[in-house]
Amino acid sequence: MLSLKEIQEIINNAIISNKFLNKPAELYEPVNYSLSSGGKRLRPSFLIMACDMFNGNIQDAVSPALAIELFHNFTLLHDDIMDKSPIRRGRPTVYKKWNSNRAILSGDTMFALAYEYMLKINKDILPDVLEVFNKTAIQVCEGQQYDMNFENNINISLENYIEMIHLKTAVLLAASLKIGAIIAKADKKDSELIYDFGINTGIAFQLKDDLLDCFGNEKKFGKKIGNDIITNKKTFLYLKAFDLADNKTSQELNNYFNDNNLSVDKKIKLIKNIYSELKVDVHTEKTMQKYYDKALKCLDAINIDNKRKAILKSLTDKLMDRED
């Protein structure tokens, strides 16, 4: 079994050896810039890890892993434009460094390149892999649309939010694992189980991100705490607070979120105080753990030796306990 470090080295080497030096340079510079910005490389790592877990040929998984990373970064390029995000991984986002038109076009190119690399897999499994990949690509776009809908929709339930992050975040993690299993020719039941593991883990991860954005350690988190509060983003914490609050507290929350005269620091402090009084952080942690427990049941049911599952479980345990 490969270690996480060895898997990440495989992915990084694949990215370095597949630099896009095509012309026009203006189209491909943002592609290379995006891929070189680092990040956890979690999705391609999951793909290779799943392939290795089921005794597959790692070399067969490299191009699909690169395809997943290209697709993921394509979504980030477009998301940053829609969300007006100036910074990504500590660097200017592509549309800020260049402009929106170049970011859109380069993102579209990354989407096409993702398919080009996915098509390099063995032809006998190509239909099964493309079925997963196509479905996932559509679902991620559906999730992003729901996320944008939430900006102007005041009637959002916690169930609506879970479904949105299921689509926007969890399905790509799950698809990465399932594609790795398909490449290794795992049986259908085990492929579905590792997909369900990815879905529930992905939801838990996003809830962890929501929690860290508000209650994380700023030095460890690497960015200002409370960005979701500043931008009035309807996260799990936001929705749970209104779900738990009485009429008076709901009105206070609503006033704080909509008061443009409050300083950033005061707004964060006032809303965090209410979150703490309502124990929103505790409720978020319980929900997060509920989904991770469901994920671990799926992993436990996979019909292979537990030793072969250990690296995947160790990685997801660390991500659940992370502070950044």
**109-138 per-position pLDDT tens digit:** 999 999 999 999 999 999 999 999 999 999
Structure tokens at 266: 């005061």
- The answer to whether residue 179 scores a pLDDT higher than 90 is yes
Give me the domains of the chain, ranges plus CATH numbers: 1-186 (1.10.600.10), 189-324 (1.10.600.10)
Backbone angles phi, psi at 195, to 5 degrees: -65, -45
pLDDT reading at 205 higher than 80: yes
Q: What would the two tokens of residue 177 be?
A: 């694992």
- How confident is the model at residue 35, as a pLDDT? 93
Nearest to 43 by CA among 321, 324, 315, 322: 315
Going by pLDDT thresholds of 50, 70 and 90, the confidence category of residue 220 is low
Q: Give me the pLDDT at residue 219, please.
A: 63
> What mean pLDDT do residues 242-255 have?
96
Q: What is the pTM of this model?
A: 0.94
Report the pLDDT value the prediction gives residue 222, as an integer from 0 to 100: 54
Q: How far apart are CA 48 and CA 71, in angstroms?
A: 16
Do 119 and 51 contact (CB within 8 A), yes or no?
no
Angle at the Cα of 102 (from 96 to 103), degrees rounded to 5? 60
Could you read off the pLDDT of 6-38 as tens digits, one per residue? 999 999 999 999 989 899 999 999 999 999 987
- The Cα–Cα gap between 315 and 141 comes to 27
Q: What is the pLDDT of residue 227?
A: 85
Give the chain's mean pLDDT.
Answer: 94
Spatial contact of 113 and 70, defined as CB atoms under 8 Å apart: yes
* Cβ neighbours of residue 163 closer than 8 Å, sequence gap 6 or more: 146
Give me 121's structure tokens. Answer: 């897999």
Q: Quick check: 255 pLDDT over 60? A: yes
